[in-house]
């Protein structure tokens, strides 16, 4: 059985593949590399309380928009 082309996969496809094939270290490292290349995360220091979230409106917006139902989903 041949390995899929991890570089050709989207981040979502690779994420799903890694979850389905947790023993595949090559896929995991390809996924982490893709995360670093795309850099689509928001960095923030550790929260001390729930109220600290009010200091990160971009983070809250991203969470809200990622949890909304998508068309065709």
Tens of pLDDT along the chain (73 residues) come to 688 999 999 999 999 999 999 999 999 999 999 988 887 776 767 888 888 878 778 777 888 887 666 555 4
Q: What is the pLDDT of residue 73?
A: 46
Q: How far apart are CA 65 and CA 70, in angstroms?
A: 9
Show the CA angle centred on residue 42, arms to residues 38 and 23, nearest 5°: 55
Q: Identify the three-state secondary structure at position 36.
A: helix
User: Residue 27: CB partners within 8 Å, gap ≥ 6?
Assistant: 3, 6, 14, 17, 18, 21
User: pTM (2 decimals)?
Assistant: 0.55
**63 CB-side CA count, 13 A:** 8
């Amino acid at each position: 059985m041949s390995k899929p082309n991890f570089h050709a996969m989207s981040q979502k496809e690779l994420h799903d593949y890694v979850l389905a094939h947790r023993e595949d270290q090559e896929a995991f490292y390809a996924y982490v590399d893709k995360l670093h290349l795309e850099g689509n995360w928001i960095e923030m220091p550790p929260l001390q309380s729930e109220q600290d979230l009010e200091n990160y409106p971009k983070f809250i917006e991203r969470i809200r928009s990622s949890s909304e139902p998508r068309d065709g989903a």
